[in-house]
Amino acid sequence: MKKPGSSSGGAGSPDSVPRCYSTWGTSYYEEFYGDQAPYPPVHADLLRSLLLSSGAKTVLDAGCGPASFLRRLGKEALDLYGFDLTPEMVAEAKKTMAALGFDPRHFWQGSVLQSGDFVRPGLPAHYDACVCIGVLPHVPADQDTTVLNNLYQAVRPGGLVLVEARNALFSLFTQNRLTHAFLRNDLMRADELLATAGPAAAPIAAALDEWQKHFRMDLPPVRRGKKDEPGYDEVLSRVHVPFVLQEQFRQTGFQEVRTFFYHYHALPPMLSGASEAFFKKASVEMENPSDWRGHFMASAFILAATRT
């Protein structure tokens, strides 16, 4: 999927995320799922295993992109469907899945924020399973529950929902500008403290400025667009705390909420330059969705839950 958010095309504009992904329609799969991807798409195998073990036969991908994940299910005995917010992604999904023998009408343009976009005339009213990958980072915080409610309603009772999110706790491991932002804004909530500090505000602010020097504020580099479109770090691209998202799932009505971590980092990324090959090999060897270290050393996670 790719998100809502003034016609200027900035990070808060309605078309910012579709513009970000508009040039990726034909290249996204190879860049992130292909043999030359920076990191193996380990999450795809995890998602596939969870889906097949659930016994699901009808699967909806809410935010399917160019059918990056669905095309990897093409040989399974599954009825596959998907929608995405970005027209170029939908066009590639239709083309790719049609070549695999699927009806291109099973893939359409839609938003996870609109409950009506989860259904289409002549298609299932409810699915056995629904996956949502790479979508939640682009959803405003106050609309997370809208997405979860829409996913809940999209599956039958007992149906499986799989949602991917970027791991906020990973920033505690990276020791860069993301670490500083998480500690200052999410844990300490420094601005709120300063507002109540009175005469102590000035020396505390100075201490915070000095403390900031302990972090590599130049890392990670900001990911910008390929042409004139905004890049990934120039649009809304949030991270989520696993514990908080788990509770939101439960409050929505989901049961059996489970967390699976992926995309591990054997060392803080800033140290990977010492040996890129070893860093990648050691990181891949760490992949274990249930390892407690994933709370801090994995940059992403999947929540699996069932509808009551």
Q: Are residues 60 and 191 in the same domain?
A: no
Question: Total structural domains in the chain?
Answer: 2
Helix (H) or strand (E) holding 263: strand 254-264
Contact (Cβ atoms closer than 8 angstroms) between residue 295 and residue 262: no
- Give the model's pLDDT for residue 7: 28
Q: Are residues 189 and 78 in the same domain?
A: no
Q: Are residues 131 and 195 in the same domain?
A: no
Strand pairing category for 127-132 and 107-109:
unpaired
* Domain that residue 238 falls in: 16-172+221-307
| CA proximity to 102, closest of 154, 129, 67 | 67
Q: Are residues 137 and 249 in the same domain?
A: yes
pTM: 0.92
Instruction: Please list the pLDDT of the chain residue by residue as tens digits (308 residues).
Output: 333 332 233 344 547 899 898 988 889 999 999 988 999 999 999 999 999 999 999 999 999 999 999 999 999 999 999 999 999 999 999 999 999 999 999 999 999 999 999 999 999 999 999 999 999 999 999 999 999 999 999 999 999 999 999 999 999 999 999 999 999 999 999 999 999 999 999 999 999 999 999 999 999 998 888 777 889 888 889 999 999 999 999 999 999 999 999 999 999 999 999 999 999 999 999 999 999 999 999 999 999 999 99
